[in-house]
Structure 1
Amino acid sequence: MDFLSIHGARENNLKNISVDLPKNKLIVFTGLSGSGKSSLAMDTIYAEGQRKYVESLSAYARQFLGELRKPDVDKIDGLSPSIAIDQKTVSHNPRSTVGTITEIYDYLRLLYARVGIAHCPECGAVLTSQTIDQVVDGLLAKVKREYASDKIVQKFGFRFMITAAPISGRKGEYEQVFMNLRKQGWNVVRVDGEYIDLKMMLPQLDKYKQHDIEVVVDTLSISKNVLDSENLLKEVRSRIFQSVEAALKLQPTFVRILEIRDKVLGISAKPSAVLVNDYSVTKSCKQCGISVPDFEPRDFSFNSPHGACPECDGLGVIKKISTEGIVDGKRSILAGGIMPYAKMLERDSYFRRLLEMVCEDHSVSIHTPVSMLTEGKLDLILYGTGEQKYKVTYYSSQDGTERSLHAKYEGIIPNLERRYKETNSEFIRTEIEKFMTTVSCPTCKGNRLKDIVLAVTVSDKNIAELCDLTIKDFSDVVEKFPKDLGVKSLAIATPVVREILLRSQFLLDVGLEYLTVSRTATTLSGGEAQRIRLASQIGTGLSGVIYVLDEPSIGLHARDQHRLITTLKQLRDLGNTVIVVEHDRDTILSADLVVDFGKGAGEHGGEIIAMGSPAEIMKSKTSVTGPYLAGKKSIAIEVEKLMKENFSKNKKLNAFLATRQLARQADRYIEISGAKTHNLKDLTVKFPLGKFVCVTGVSGSGKSSLVVETLLPVLKKTLGLRTDSPDTVFKNLYVSDVVDKMLYIDQSPIGRTPRSNPATYTKVFDDIRELFAQTKDSKVHGYTASRFSFNLRGGRCEACKGEGKIKIEMQFMPDVYIDCDVCFGKRYVSEVLEVMYKGKNISDVLNMSVDEAAGFFSEMSMIREKFEMLQQVGLGYLKLGEPAPMLSGGEAQRVKLSAELGRRSTGKTIYILDEPTTGLHFADIEKLVAVLKTLVATGNSVFVIEHNLDFIKEADYLIDLGPEGGNGGGEVVATGTVGDIRKNPRSWTGKMLKELEI
């Protein structure tokens, strides 16, 4: 069948859609947010493909997976196996990295285990190993070479001693070592070059000097006749083998051969001229006494105890108590200056008495603000007084009797860190974590692995150094590996290197060259994670599959869109059907088929309003998207209309226009200098206040490093807010005007379970529950607002604990939520559902869209206003009870923004947003820009990281970073208005804005 035929799709807001989609084509679903794109792509096509797959499994396998709900569709013909690559499936495991996700790291572990060169982790010497046979053969080969070229050997013969060196360059007296050697029958030892007979005496060594102790196991002389006789040589070889074997029992890592160079016939009892040669049978360093095993791939895994750093368990970071986090400098010790123990010090306790004795003993005032204490005195309180003991008399909290105890004072920080490690209580652990910060592991320096593993190199780079390179640099280095390897190693490495380069190339193809292989998965954006999975899929080479992608262009600069589009076409050309839910202009124009959904969102959407090639969509009179693609509609004009509409019912309109003019004229700014976080190159950047500022640049250029990981934590600290950003590096922050509030609105979920939803997050549900509690039915039954909470016993369904959904763990596939079979997804018990307000129960209200609810509660101004905020950010289509796990990152971000809009603005607030256009259609971007400009109009400042050119065009001021990503970025390329950026030849953003203008 050449078509994927969908008949009667009614999932979510879809209105009985029937459509034939051609197979093996690149198909783009576009339209307003909430118009039904994902409902058809993800919730119908992919969901039915997943359900059919589970049905094809054995009954035994299905019993573990449960039964998946059939999407609300009559039938789908021509359905192939389906794979979804969405933006929500981002790993939350701190052990996952770009390397582990793509399997690059698995191949690297194999490469380093098989061809890596081991070094001593202490001195860096190369460590080699041999078998006993190789040692003997190497020694005999040396004998033959010496007879051919060495005159002393030709005249006096090749004379040598086979020794074991149990002690090499180490301090000590070693009396017990000598006694044990004598008991075992070893009589002659060489101590620091001097020969001693242990039968006659035991050496007396200086314990503070370094010593070398060598046990003489055997002494031999090989003449030329022996070399010429096969039988004699065989006998000598056997003797050497046994002596080497005996020596290795005394020193299992290497055997030492002392070649005698005295110019006398025979062998002196105490030869003076010797040449030392060590033959290692393990990878060991005789200088440092360190030996390493033969490595296996697992030894290079930071997820295995064999390779993981023991200090941080392979995470590369550890949690440590933050001095700043536990001290309130404005208060004294007894008044809560040591925050973790504030309550304990309020009452008479053992700990308080101990601390009072310490303070008295060291003249530390317990009534002086902590900030007034000297650094040395504060250190005593925080880090303890060592071994000193104090006699503490206190009253037992159990029986009230007086007791005495001699105790050490370990200090606040060591005490908290010890309790954190020892406790089994999750509550105590969580409480202590409030005072901790994440820092790079001091043992492995953030490299996650043991030191002996990090001492293994290929082409002079250890595995951590290699993984810290960007994908582009990494590929260049790995490509040169074969040139640095020997013949044997090359044969082993060639197929492994091929697989590594193949996977690296896929990442380069989707515009991720700026990522490092060691980049933690938790720090990836939804778009980056999606493109990594996309790259992995191309690597599988599958064909005949339906791929469903949800906005793969998220976080990608306009410059790199063509590379992503090429990858999508490559996936199609393998013989797959590629369905992409997308709003990006270039991706839509590159599609074989565009399906436009609308005409509105929610109940006003769910229909296909236009379908055809990009050219046909641009000509369509019914398409919402077409006019924007054809240039018939401009976001700038629509934004002005929306702003006037927002203020049309507001008396502040004139004040808004005046404020806007003042905000543009006033020279108010924040300046951060010396920013060096990650790849930032000692930047000094000025952020104008009272303006709509966009931070732009190609992916990996340093936008998040500057705004989210430098400016944000520094502002938090300035405003007295807690921050956990150990990697922030800067010199100074200057703020020219008062900033009394700072809000970071990101795309993290508003909750992890179906309990969280837009109604609960915006607090409008509290008002709705109060309203239901005031109804006649509630008063008759004595119901309070808590009865209408799905988080509390009494009103909620206990089968699903008020979630309305049951989670099915899908083992190797993403978890699936199905409707509870007791309450049928309604969350509440039947008694609560009998309470009505204007003919609707509480579950009906949660199933309303924001637009419906705004009309339903139009008479209740407090409730209506919160819905209007959600409508302003383009979320009118969203259901009030939409479970948090079902929201996209962009939707979650706009829910947070609406909640902030509902709060009272001081006019001196900084709003920081990270890619807010995620998931937004051109028409939705208009609404978002209008809201942000409204915030700026009332004196606030808006700083946004963004790639969307239509959004960027509307900014008052741009800060463009680059010029490239990773090591090639981290610089300020251009600053100024959109017009200024367009004129800058170094700016990629400027070039793309200029092309958009054309």
Structure 2
Amino acid sequence: MIHTPNISAEEEEWIEITGAREHNLQNISLRVPRNKMVVITGLSGSGKSSLAFDTIYAEGQRRYMETFSAYARQFMGTMDRPDVDKIEGLSPVISIEQKTTAWNPRSTVGTTTEIYDFLRLLFARAGEAYSYVTGEKMVRYTEEQIIDHVFSFFFRKKTAILAPVIRARKGHYRELFEQTRKKGFTKVRVNGEMMDIAPGMHLDRYKTHDIEIVIDRFTIEEDKRDRLISAVALAFKMGNDFVMIVNLENDEMKAFSKSLMDPVSGLSYEEPSPNNFSFNSPYGACKECNGIGEIHQADMEKVIPDWSKSIEEEAIKPLGQVRDTVMFKQVKNLGKKFGFDFTTPVKDIPKEAMDLMLNGPTPGKKLKTNNSYDYYSNLTEEGLLPMLERWYQESSSEKVRAWTENFLGIVTCPACQGYRLKTESLHFKLHEQHIGHLARMNMDELYDWIVDLPNYLDEKQSIISAEIIKEIKLRIGFLLDVGLNYLDLNRSARTLSGGESQRIRLASQIGSQLTGITYIMDEPSIGLHQRDNQRLINALHELTKIGNSVLVVEHDKDIMLASDYIIDLGPGAGKHGGYIVSEGKPDAFLKLDSTTAKYLSKKISIDIPKTRRKGNGKVLELKGANGNNLQNVDISLPLGTFICITGVSGSGKSTLINETLYPILRKHFYDSIKKPLEFKEINGLEHIDKVIEIDQSPIGRTPRSNPATYIGVFTDIRKIFSDMPEAKIRGYQPGRFSFNVQGGRCDICEGAGKKVIEMNFLPDVLVDCEKCLGKRYNRETLEILYKGKSISDVLEMTVEEAVVFFENIPSIYRKIKTLYSVGLGYISLGQQATTLSGGEAQRVKLSEELSKKDTGNTVYILDEPTTGLHFDDIKLLLDVLNKLVDKGNTVIVIEHNLDVIKVADYIADLGPEGGRGGGKIVAQGSPEQVIKNKKSITGKFLAMEFN
């Protein structure tokens, strides 16, 4: 039956879906209003993504494929039709999901949004060049201007017109002199000295030289103007558009170029093109770092973490264990010379010997012995540290690169100072700024600069740059509209959160001005503070105003209430979901009886605790945190409490916790090699015994990873099947039931259950293996049954089903029960890790930690754990986190969700703004105390929850 939306009787256009059965959808039919903003909501696992992405988007993509000819499709593969009877009224579909845009370090916010491309064009066409030698503004001459200058400076002076052919290069140049002589020229100037060209003439090949050919010599008079014009033209031809004029009476010299030139030093630049400002082009990229802005440099803390240990105790980590190899024979030989052996603590090895071992000999000093195994006669002619750096840069082996990376740190490139571009490119300026400076401005600052720029341009520059400036302003404006004002163009795309990546793509779509599109988005509000929600809502409505349909999978209250229509799936998760519980316009929806409607209308809510925990009286104190935008932050975190780190987007929350505090704790407890960002001191480490970060990164990047393998129950399950009588008769071991090794797995898909179909310019598609039909195993393995189920059947079970199925096996039951307790009863044990959302992956990790023995002195760190969670799911999550705190542990959560913030024992609110306007603790204390702080933006929104 088709649901009739609670919408007015006026004429509407619809996307009509009939009989949707994909995954857990229960043969539902519905009509979705077109050219409106529609929110699809419901419990985790209720079927939201199955409806939005696996049905509507999948059908749209399939229809797009059908537009290609049969000939083209044979190269692109086929896409299965989603399990739905029919979909009518569907326009072309674009999906904007929560995926990091790229792992390529060359991909940045600037390149992704194309703003940087327009800036490159702006600097190439309107930029003003300055000499990196003298700082003088570069000039460009025509031949007529040069002739006028010569008459102005050298009138009635005996003058030589020179064509520079060699600049600061070594060589004997015998051939050059001979060819020049054959062309009829008799004189050259070598290193500032005039010489006659003699047969066989040559120079010292090991010294650097400057060579100019003397084109003509005469006194500058008006009647010799034609002669001067001819000489200058020939000098330009032979001197690569460069000419030098020398007063032979006093050696005064002037240089001229058709290209950009420094009139003082004679330095010239090639004519700029957009590629000269691209760090992805050899014409613009810094030669030292190849346009990355960073280089890998040997890190002494990683090479020698403990100087009190000896070589025998593996003090020098790259050397490893002492063994009978050429390298250790070399070290031993070095020890004989300088008086140390493998048992000497490295701190006691003579400095000269350590310098030789690590850095190589000083230039020109190479110590050698007659022993062919002498260490520094080969290895330390380079040094261990430079050798590691060279291996990383030059090796074609991924294993070697991965191994050497263990001993390297990433530092800002000293040549370009992290700007990624070569020196010449950084000396083109507009309004006193080079393009590298602009790439480091946040969007607010860049927008102000670009708006102000026309006031500083001359008439020619204004005409050239008008359209370019217009495009840049538009694109920055779209980013501001979706709350990304704190980002800068230089920000690497791989460091963006899923929410930030999604909003960048949303901004790009707004900028494209496409119409007639159905956009499908997955929680665009992720990582966004309540203050910025309205800007995002305006951006979504902007898409509908120009004739697009916007379908948003979302749990945020503000976005739901601002939508045109709400579709609520449920009533439960997994097999208990997949139905349309309620739907309608927001005002009508609030009157309905569904769980979501009750939360939105505040008939039910997550309770504010009557009392706040004070903790165990001990604190973890971090002082002087200065990483990224943090401004000398001091923070005291009460242990044994539930702590919320809040603040507007970009205020420094992740920098403080994920990049400073967590690496400090990892270093202390697990000797981690990851360096924390800058801080002064940390106190209170003695009060905790371990730290666990539970983030939203995937539990695996291939279809072979799944919840069962991650939480460690699959080993026990395989053991059960190998103990079955029939398995024993056949001699099957537990490994037979692994889909990662040969024997029991399907030979065609090698146990993946899926095959990848390459779609060329479209994303690859996974389809079921045609032999095992997605079951992963061969027929013989599937014949072994436990309680009537095969190993594949068990992997297909939901967590809820598995809890009952394994209730009599404690080792399995306990671990599966923790998955169920964090609200993941609807996922299957063998569900591919690649299909889990960030929030689901985080809860799988949380359940794995919950199944371990608890010490009561653990610090748990979670970054936005409510991502993808319905109000009811959040309530369940809070119960789990509160149980951890009740056991004496400390839970630190970075969060924007007010339902979480209001139940915290302690809040540290960063701000007051994002980017450079943030990085300070604005307010801290209990929620009640933060509400009273007038400076806290979070406090203002939190007060509404209490009211």
- CA distance in structure 1 between the aligned counterparts of 2:193 and 2:406, rounded to whole angstroms: 62
Three-state SS of the structure 2 residue aligned to 1:920 is coil
Hey, what does 1:627 align to over in structure 2?
A: 598
Q: Which amino acid aligns with 2:801?
A: E
Contact 2:331 2:375 in 1 (8 A): no
Q: Using the alignment, how far apart are the partners of 1:363 and 1:981 within structure 2?
A: 64
| Structure 1: distance between partners of 2:244 and 2:371 | 63
Aligned residues of 1:804 and 1:827 also touching (Cα < 8 A): yes
Q: Which amino acid aligns with 2:607?
A: A
Cα distance, 1:193–1:90 mapped onto 2, change above 3 Å: closer
Distance 2:412 2:697 in 1: 24
Alignment-derived partner of residue 963 in structure 1: 912
1:187 CA drift (Å): 6.7
Query: Match of 1:938?
Result: 887
Q: Which digits, 9 at most, give the CA deviation of each residue in 1:709-752, with x for residues without a partner? A: 111222222224323347x2122222253322111221111111
Distance 1:684 1:185 in 2: 77
CA 1:668–1:377: 2 relative to 1, 3 Å: farther
| Correspondence 1:479 to 2:451 | yes
- AA aligned to 1:124 is G
Is the aligned partner of 1:513 residue 2:485? Answer: yes
Which of 322, 333, 339 matches 1:363? 339
Structure 1 partner of 2:616: 666
Query: After the TM superposition, which of the residue ranges 600-609 and 482-491 deviates more from structure 2?
Result: 482-491
2:357 is aligned to 381
CA distance 1:375–1:617, change in 2 (3 Å): farther
State whether structure 2 residue 924 is matched by structure 1 residue 975.
yes
Report the CA distance between 1:438 and its aligned residue: 2.3
Of 885-894 and 475-484, more deviation after overlay is shown by 475-484
Aligned residue type for 1:672: L
**What's 2:570 paired with?**
598
How far is the alpha carbon of 1:619 from its aligned partner?
A: 1.9
Determine helix, strand or coil for the equivalent of 1:619. Answer: coil
2:742 pairs, out of 781, 790, 793, with: 793
- CA contact under 8 A between 1:392 and 1:407: conserved in structure 2? no
Q: Which residue of 2 aligns with 1:687?
A: 637
Counterparts in 2 of 1:926 and 1:768: CA distance versus 1, 3 Å: same
5+ residue gaps, structure 2, are: 1-11
- TM-fit CA distance, 1:171: 12
Q: What is the deviation of 1:167?
A: 10
Cα distance between partner residues in 2 of 1:177 and 1:77: 78
Higher mean Cα deviation, 410-419 or 374-383?
Answer: 374-383
Q: Which residue of 1 aligns with 2:7?
A: none
Residue 75 (structure 2) aligned to one of 64, 68, 81: 64
Matches within 5 A, 1:16-31: 16-31=27-42
Say if 2:459 is the partner of 1:459: no
Q: Which residue identity is paired with 2:360? A: G
What's the counterpart of residue 291 of structure 2? Answer: 314
8 Å CA contact 2:360, 2:376 repeated in 1: no
Q: Is 1:781 the counterpart of 2:791 in the alignment?
A: no
Tell me the CA shift for residue 587 of structure 1: 0.4
CA shift, 1:809, in A, is 2.6
1:801-840 mapped onto 2 (5 Å cutoff): 801-840=750-789
Is the contact made by 1:596 and 1:609 (CA closer than 8 Å) also made in structure 2?
yes
Q: Does 1:675 align with 2:625?
A: yes
Q: Tell me which amino acid in the other structure corresponds to 1:451.
A: T
* Identity across matched positions, percent: 46
Q: Please identify runs of 4+ aligned residues in structure 1 that moved more than 6 A.
A: 167-199, 202-205, 207-214
CA gap 1:707/1:215 in 2 versus in 1, 3 angstroms:
same
Deviations 1:392-416, CA, capped at 9 Å, x for gaps: 6589xxxxxxx99964634322232
Aligned to 2:473: 501
SS of residue in 2 equivalent to 1:334? coil
Report the TM-score when normalising by structure 2: 0.92
Larger CA Rg, structure 1 vs 2: 1
Could you say what secondary structure the match of 1:339 adopts? coil
Amino acid at match of 2:405: E
Distance of aligned partners of 1:933 and 1:532 in 2 relative to their CA distance in 1, 3 Å threshold: same
Deviation at 1:172, TM superposition (A): 11
User: Shift in Å at residue 984 of structure 1?
Assistant: 0.8
Q: Report what 2:683 is aligned to.
A: 734
The residue number in structure 2 matching 1:861 is 810
Unaligned runs of 5+ in 1: 147-152, 227-235, 260-269, 396-402, 641-659
Distance 1:701 1:555 in 2: 11
| Structure 1 position 886 matched with structure 2 position 885 | no
Question: What SS does structure 2 have at the residue aligned with 1:298?
Answer: helix
- Paired residue for 1:336, among 303, 311, 314? 314
Kindly state the Cα deviation for residue 694 of structure 1 after the two structures are TM-superposed: 1.0
Aligned with 1:240 (options 222, 228, 239): 228
Q: How does 1:532-543 map to 2 (within 5 A)?
A: 532-543=504-515
The residue aligned with 2:280 is 303
Alpha-carbon spacing, 1:258–1:820, altered in 2? closer, same or farther (3 Å): same
Displacement of 1:815 in angstroms is: 2.4
- 5 Å-filtered alignment, 1:138-153, equals 138-139=148-149
Q: 1:84 to 1:188 in 2, by over 3 A?
A: closer
Once the 2 structures are TM-superposed, how far is the Cα of residue 58 of structure 1 from its aligned partner? 1.6
CA distance, structure 1, for counterparts of residue 637 and residue 946 of structure 2: 26
Q: Take 2:779 and 2:847, find their aligned partners in 1: how far apart are those partners?
A: 33
Question: Helix, strand or coil: the match of 1:559?
Answer: helix
Answer yes or no: is the 8 Å Cα contact 1:673–1:731 preserved in 2.
yes
Q: How far does residue 220 in structure 1 lie from its aligned partner after superposition?
A: 3.6
CA distance in 2, matches of 1:780, 1:374: 67
| Counterpart AA for 2:617 | D
Deviation of 1:933 after TM superposition, in Å, equals 1.5
Counterpart contact for 1:438–1:725, Cα < 8 Å: no
1:910-934: per-residue Cα shift (whole Å, max 9, x none)?
1111111100111111111111111
Q: In 2, are the aligned partners of 1:808 and 1:815 still within 8 Å (CA)?
A: yes
Change (3 A) 1:79 1:415: same
1:189 Cα deviation after fit: 8.1
- CA deviation vs aligned residue, 1:122-164 (integer Å, no higher than 9, x gap): 443333333434433x438x75xx9xxxxxx9xxx75563533
For 2:397 and 2:649, locate their aligned partners in 1 and report how far apart those are by CA, in whole Å.
Answer: 42
- Find the counterpart in structure 1 of residue 46 from structure 2: 35
Does structure 2 conserve the Cα–Cα contact (< 8 Å) formed by 1:97 and 1:520? yes
CA distance in 2, matches of 1:739, 1:953: 26
Residue 255 of structure 1 pairs with residue 246 of structure 2: no
Q: How does 1:219-238 map to 2 (within 5 A)?
A: 219-223=218-222, 236-238=224-226
Equivalent in the alignment of 2:823 = 874
TM-score, normalisation: structure 1: 0.87
Of residues 152, 157, 161, the one that matches 1:163 is 161
Per the alignment, residue 868 of structure 2 pairs with 919
Question: What is the match of residue 704 of structure 1?
Answer: 654
Cα pair 1:164 1:248 within 8 Å, conserved: no
How far is 1:457 from its partner?
1.9
**After the TM superposition, which of the residue ranges 417-426 and 439-448 deviates more from structure 2?**
417-426
- What residue identity is the alignment partner of 1:164? L
Q: Mean Cα displacement is larger for which, 734-743 or 106-115? A: 734-743
CA distance in 2, matches of 1:6, 1:440: 54
Give the structure 2 partner of residue 9 of structure 1: 20
Aligned equivalent of 2:499, options 518, 527, 534: 527
| 8 Å CA contact 1:218, 1:243 repeated in 2 | no
The residue type paired with residue 88 of structure 1 is: K
Distance 1:176 1:689, change over 3 A: farther
Superposed CA RMSD? 3.2
Structure 2 distance, partners of 1:587, 1:172, is 69
**Which shifted more, 536-545 or 282-291?**
282-291
Contact 2:627 2:679 in 1 (8 A): yes
Question: Distance between the aligned counterparts of 2:496 and 2:880, measured in 1?
Answer: 28
Asked if the contact 2:525/2:536 (under 8 Å) is kept, the reply is yes
CA contact 1:693–1:958 (8 Å) conserved in 2: yes
Q: CA deviation at 1:516?
A: 0.3
Distance 1:392 1:815, change over 3 A: farther
> Match for 1:674: what amino acid?
G
Distance 1:538 1:214 in 2: 59
Structure 1 residue 442 and structure 2 residue 442: aligned?
no
Residue 722 to residue 204, structure 1, CA distance change in 2 (3 Å): closer
